[in-house]
Amino acid sequence: MEKAVLKRVEEGICYLSLNRPQRLNAMDTSLLEGLLEGLQGAAAEGARVVAIEGMGRAFSAGADLVEFYRAEDTPTFVYRVARMLNSVIAEIRRTDLPVVALVKGVAVGAGFSLALACDLTVASEGSVFNLGYMKVAFSPDGGATLLLPKLLGLKRSMELCLLTEDLPAHRAHALGLIN
């Protein structure tokens, strides 16, 4: 079975590639574990920067909801995945290395939260961001409710969280969410 996160270090840059393109890089436990391990080991491998990218046509569609529905004890499983995601976000914020999100395609739900947590977020012109949590009856996680009000203020943050409208890259840039 292929790894959910591919890691390579080139010229001081540690690339962590989300490698579940058939699921739009939806986050399952193996992907979150791979991200955390990659972030924690980057400096030891000589990296000066970490770049997170998605393989295929998406950065990340967020949490793998299929995995949620297949879980024997869904509430416990969702709690476990949320804690894993929060550990990844905390590691991004804690590391001394700058972390850059290279967004191509969609960054939805936890994928949007992941991009927000990075020090810099660069997106291709056709990229789309959406918190999406309300569409599946979840509350935003992965630090989104902490980071968005700091970046946008409360009113605009509530708009993004509650309306779950697509946010094209050009508008995300105008709002200051991407570089």
Kindly report, residue by residue over 45-59, the tens digit of the pLDDT: 999 999 999 999 999
pTM: 0.94
Residue-wise pLDDT for 3-21, tens only, equals: 999 999 999 999 999 999 9
Range scoring the smallest mean pLDDT among 30-34, 111-115, 126-130, 135-139:
135-139
Let me know: does 22 contact 69? Beta carbons within 8 Å: no
- Res. 98: pLDDT tops 70: yes
Name residue, tokens 């550990």: 87
Q: Which domains does the chain have, with CATH numbers?
A: 5-175 (3.90.226.10)
Neighbour tally for 36: CB within 10 Å: 18
Let me know: does 70 contact 29? Beta carbons within 8 Å: no
Torsion of CA 154, 156, 158, 161, to 10 degrees: -130
The percent of the chain in helix, strand and coil, each rounded to the nearest 5, is 45, 20, 30
Let me know: does 15 contact 8? Beta carbons within 8 Å: yes
